[in-house]
């Protein structure tokens, strides 16, 4: 099928042909272009050469597992990655998020839920691209809280002046918390506001993402000074 350049392109990575066929049918019906990879090595090659707008990535793959694929792709691309996992692969969900995946959905999944996840992740990515256009005439929008500085135009985070490499999801979590510095935000609110849809997963997704952010912005993750946990409630950015 000839690709329409105005459409978003989604790379489907799965070695089960029936699942790939279902995904291709439904995604193209929704107006997306699709690319396919049936093993991990091919997935990395296609992702890095074709630069898709979003990747649906299964964990159980031949030649190279999905977690390794996620790590390799994330090292060079900031494309949204949505992991496909089996219900009993809880550890893989957590590892996937820690390696930089933006989201996950468990098999078997409903097409409606999957499309909601895809649209939400693409919306976040589109907002980033729209705001990336530089302009010397525009005042840079920033949020500064203590040692943390967020440049909303560049989608760039700095701690003590040092640029921190964040995924889009991680930046959005920090932005939401920093915009309400000192206020405790529950995990449920973060899921609703940052992930951007009625979330069907569990709140551990937030915990894993916060843990990943802390590993990047805190000198001592066991004694955080910027991103603080309010036990049993949620998280907040310390207002200095």
Write the pLDDT tens digit of every residue in 105-162: 888 888 888 888 888 888 766 655 544 444 333 455 889 998 999 988 778 899 999 9
**pLDDT of res. 3:** 52
Looking at the structure, tell me whether residues 105 and 61 fall in a common domain: yes
Do both 91 and 166 map to the same domain? no
Beta bridge partners of 58: 84
In a domain, 136, yes or no: no
Average pLDDT over residues 168-172: 85
> End of a domain among 99, 130, 161?
130
Whether residues 19 and 119 fall in one domain: yes
Q: State the pLDDT at residue 68.
A: 92
Last residue of a domain, one of 104, 130, 156: 130
The tokens for 89 are 């692969």
- Confirm whether 4 is domain-assigned: no
Grade residue 1 by pLDDT with cuts at 50, 70 and 90: very low
pLDDT, one tens digit per residue, over 76-89 is 888 889 988 876 66
pLDDT at 238: 92
Looking at the domain assignment, is residue 54 inside a domain? yes
Per-residue pLDDT band at 197 (split at 50, 70, 90): low
What is the rounded CA–CA span in Å between residue 169 and residue 124? Answer: 8
Nearest C-alpha neighbor of 105 from the set 66, 79, 64: 66
Q: Looking at the domain assignment, is residue 3 inside a domain?
A: no
pLDDT bin (cut points 50, 70, 90) of residue 15 is very high
- Kindly tell me if the per-residue pLDDT of 14 is higher than 90: yes
60 within a domain of the structure (yes/no):
yes
Are 125 and 146 within one domain?
no
Question: pLDDT tens digits for 20-77?
Answer: 999 999 999 999 999 999 999 999 999 999 999 999 999 889 999 998 999 899 888 8
Residue 191 pLDDT grade (very low, low, confident, very high; cuts 50, 70, 90): confident
Domain limits for position 67: 9-130
Among the three residues 73, 107, 130, which one is the final residue of a domain in this structure?
130
**Residue 193: DSSP 8-state:** I
With a CB cutoff of 8 Å and minimum separation 6, the contacts of 40 are: 13, 61, 62, 63, 64, 65, 66, 68, 69
Domain co-membership, 199 together with 161: yes
pLDDT, average across residues 191-211: 75
**Residue 13 shares a structural domain with residue 126:** yes
For residues 41 and 88, membership in a common domain is answered with: yes
- Claim to verify: residue 124 and residue 155 sit in the same structural domain: no
Contact at 8 Å (CB) between 114 and 208? no
Q: What is the CATH number of the domain that holds 65?
A: 3.40.50.2300
- Torsion of the alpha carbons at 155, 160, 164 and 170, rounded to the nearest 10: -60
Residues 15 and 111 in one domain: yes
Q: Which residue has the higher pLDDT, 137 or 94?
A: 94
For residues 115 and 170, membership in a common domain is answered with no
Contact 177, 227 (CB under 8 A): yes
Residue 38 lies in a domain: yes
CATH of the domain at 179: 1.10.10.10
Answer yes or no: is 137 within a domain: no
Q: What is the pLDDT of residue 12?
A: 96
What pTM value is reported for the model?
0.66
Residues 92 and 17 in one domain: yes
Rounded to an integer, the average pLDDT of 227-235 is: 92
- What confidence score (pLDDT) does residue 136 get? 36
pLDDT computed for residue 167 by the predictor: 81
User: Which one has a higher pLDDT value, 98 or 128?
Assistant: 98
How many independent structural domains does the chain possess?
A: 2
Instruction: Specify if 2 maps to a domain.
Output: no
Both 126 and 146 in one domain: the answer is no
């Amino acid at each position: 099928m000839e690709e329409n350049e105005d459409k978003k392109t989604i790379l489907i990575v799965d070695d089960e042909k029936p699942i790939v066929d279902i995904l291709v049918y439904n995604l193209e019906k929704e107006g997306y272009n699709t690319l396919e990879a049936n093993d991990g090595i091919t997935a990395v090659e296609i992702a890095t050469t074709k630069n898709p707008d979003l990747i649906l990535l299964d964990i159980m793959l031949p030649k190279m597992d999905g977690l390794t694929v996620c790590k390799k792709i994330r090292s060079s691309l900031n494309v949204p990655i949505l992991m496909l996992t089996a219900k009993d692969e809880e550890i893989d969900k957590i590892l996937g998020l820690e390696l930089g995946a933006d989201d996950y959905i468990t098999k078997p999944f409903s097409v409606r839920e999957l499309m909601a996840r895809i649209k939400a992740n693409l919306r976040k990515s589109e907002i980033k691209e729209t705001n990336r256009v530089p302009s010397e005439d525009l005042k840079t929008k920033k949020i500064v809280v203590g040692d943390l500085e967020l440049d909303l135009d560049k989608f760039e985070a700095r701690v003590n002046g040092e640029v921190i490499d964040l995924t889009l999801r991680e930046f959005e979590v920090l932005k939401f918390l920093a915009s309400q510095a000192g206020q405790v935000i529950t995990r449920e609110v973060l899921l609703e506001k940052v992930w951007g849809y009625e979330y069907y997963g569990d709140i551990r997704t937030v915990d894993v993402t916060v843990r990943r952010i802390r590993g990047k912005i805190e000198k001592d993750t066991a004694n955080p000074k910027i991103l603080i946990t309010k036990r049993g409630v949620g998280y907040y950015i310390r207002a200095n």
